[in-house]
Amino acid sequence: SSLSLSDFTKLTVLGSGSGGTVYKVTHKQNGGVYALKLISSDPNPTHLRQLCREKEILRRMISSDSPYIVRCHRVFEKSDGDLAILMEHMDGGTLDHTLKKEGTFSEPLLANVAYQILNGLKYLHSHKIVHRDIKPSNLLVNSKWEVKISDFGVGRIMGRTLDPCNSYVGTCAYMSPERFDPDTYGGNYNGYAADIWSLGLTLMELYLGYFPFLLPGQRPDWAALMCAICFGDPPTLPEGRGSEDFRSFVSCCLQKEAAQRWSAAQLLSHPFISKSR
Ligand code: ATP
Ligand code: MG
């Protein structure tokens, strides 16, 4: 259509991450409310190459019809290389934000959240897309408690200068063992399993209220964290916490060997999910 960036008015800043700033905007003529993510270009050739690939993913996602993926309406590319991505506005913000505001998630709520994320992952994986950055801050929720996956690596392309682990419990923290050590943990099995590992950690965090590899309040030490992921046992819920079904579900996600991890489709029929439906 003939949408143009000048048709939108900025209302507020919704947030900013490593990749850019996201604004709540409204369309001047029809009054519709959207989220607009602005990413400024980065002349680094590695980033530019990655950007091309990610734009291709976005282009494919524009035609996405999955209710479990944040709808991307348009990508505007300015002549200076800056990008503007017009998205569906999720009025509940991130699951990260929900956790901080409303406290830990009950098992029935988590089963519902997991069901929606798994459907999103099943959709992406069946379209040969690995998300690679599943974490609470990339999962958005709205007031109908619809949970959707956002951020197809766009945040990882640009603005990521020196340290990829720059935010508190940032991208590295949710990375699977085979991404650190492909030879030991089946790095060439398939990339999709990495998203399942990140999902397992995400669900544990929403249940416990803290990142499972760290004690509550503990600050991350990246070297120690990477050692724990690669050489330690996968995290489990503390003794006496969680139903048998939930504990089993988490352990199906957090197998260190990529090939041992369940797929999104398999997890959808795990009792933790199926009994709750
Ligand atoms: P990272 O850079 O590691 O991905 P992030 O996910 O917090 O971190 P962004 O993806 O740039 O960074 O998003 C910034 C913030 O903007 C999010 O945390 C969220 O609060 C808000 N946001 C992003 N997209 C939307 C959306 N479609 N609807 C509502 N809020 C959004
Ligand atoms: Mg993000």
Distance 42 CA to ligand 1 centre (A): 19
Q: Read out DSSP for 52-114?
A: HHHHHHHHHHHT---TTB--EEEEEE-TTS-EEEEEE--TTEEHHHHHHHH-PPPHHHHHHHH
Q: Which of 159, 154, 3, 25 lies closest to 76 in space, CA to CA?
A: 3
> First CA to last CA across the chain, in angstroms?
40
Q: Is 157 in the pocket of ligand 1 (CB under 6 A)?
A: no
CA of 137 to the centre of ligand 1 (A): 7
Which residue among 96, 133, 151, 195 is the active-site one? 133
Question: What mean pLDDT is predicted for residues 57-86?
Answer: 85
Of the candidates 138, 116, 109, which has an alpha carbon nearest to the alpha carbon of residue 66? 116
Per-residue pLDDT at 130: 87
- Are the C-beta atoms of 134 and 199 separated by less than 8 Å? yes
Say if the ipTM goes beyond 0.90.
yes
**CB distance 87 to ligand 1 below 6 Å:** yes
Is there a catalytic annotation at residue 163? no
Contact indicator for 143, 152 with CB cutoff of 8 Å: no
Burial class (CB in 10 A: 0-12, 13-18, 19+), 109: middle
Alpha-carbon distances, residue 231 vs 14, 111, 120, 177, 210 (angstroms): 38, 29, 30, 9, 21
Position 1 scores a pLDDT of: 60
With a 6 A CB cut-off, is 16 part of the ligand 1 pocket? yes
| Res 115 pLDDT > 50 | yes
**Using an 8 Å Cβ cutoff, are 152 and 61 in contact?**
yes
- Residue 18 CB less than 6 A away from ligand 1: yes
Could you tell me which residues are beta bridge partners of residue 81? none
Out of 53-62, 155-164, 202-211, 247-256, which region has the weakest mean confidence (pLDDT)? Answer: 155-164
Predicted confidence at residue 57, as pLDDT, reads 77
How do residues 234-271 score in pLDDT, each as one tens digit? 999 999 999 999 999 999 999 999 999 999 999 999 99
Q: Is a pLDDT exceeding 60 seen at residue 108?
A: yes
Ligand nearest to the CA of 148: 1
CA dihedral 121, 126, 131, 132 (to 10 degrees): 100
- Which residues carry a binding-site annotation for ATP? 37
Average pLDDT over residues 87-105: 97
Closest approach atom of ligand 1 to CA 89: 28
What number is the average pLDDT over the span 15-29? 89
- Asked whether the beta carbons of 133 and 155 are under 8 A apart, the reply is yes
What residues are designated binding site? 37
DSSP 130: -
Q: Measure the CA–CA gap between 132 and 92, rounded to whole angstroms.
A: 23
Task: Using the predicted structure, report yes or no on whether residue 161 has a pLDDT greater than 60.
Answer: no
